[in-house]
Amino acid sequence: MDPDLGLAYVNMAYSYFALGRTSEAEKIIQRASERGFNPPEMLFLRYSIAFCRNDPDDMNRVVALAQGKPWAEDWISQAQAQAAADAGHLQLARKLSQRAVDIALRAEQPGRAAGYEASFAVYQALIGYPREAIGRASDGLKLSSGRDIEYVAGLALATAGDLTRTEELSRDLQFRFPEDTVVNRFYLPVLRAVIAMKNRAPQTAIDLSQPALPGEMALVGDGSAILGNVQSAYVRGEAFLSAGQSSEALSEFQKLLDHPGIRFNDPLGSLAQLQIGRAYALIGDKVKTRSAYEAFFSRWASADPGIPILISAKAEYHAIQ
Residue 301 has pLDDT above 90, yes or no: yes
In a domain, 242, yes or no: yes
In a domain, 1, yes or no: no
d(CA 212, CA 214): 6
In this structure, are residues 51 and 62 in contact, taking their beta carbons and an 8 Å threshold? no
In a domain, 188, yes or no: yes
In a domain, 20, yes or no: no
In a domain, 23, yes or no: no
The CATH number of the domain holding residue 178 is 1.25.40.10
Per-residue model confidence (pLDDT) at position 303: 98
DSSP state for residue 225 in the 8-state scheme: S
Residue 224 has pLDDT above 90, yes or no: no
Per-residue pLDDT reduced to its tens digit, 79-130: 999 999 999 999 999 999 999 999 999 999 999 999 999 999 999 999 999 9
pTM of the predicted model, to two decimals? 0.96
| 66 membership: H or E segment, kind and range | helix 56-66
In a domain, 25, yes or no: no
Nearest one of 147, 70, 80 to 115, comparing CA atoms: 147
Q: What is the count of structural domains for the chain? A: 1
In a domain, 110, yes or no: yes
**221: pLDDT confidence band, cut at 50, 70 and 90?**
confident
Helices marked H in 199-259: 202-208, 231-242, 246-258
Nearest one of 239, 273, 282 to 255, comparing CA atoms: 273
In a domain, 34, yes or no: no
Range of the structural domain that residue 51 is part of:
39-319
Per-residue model confidence (pLDDT) at position 81: 98
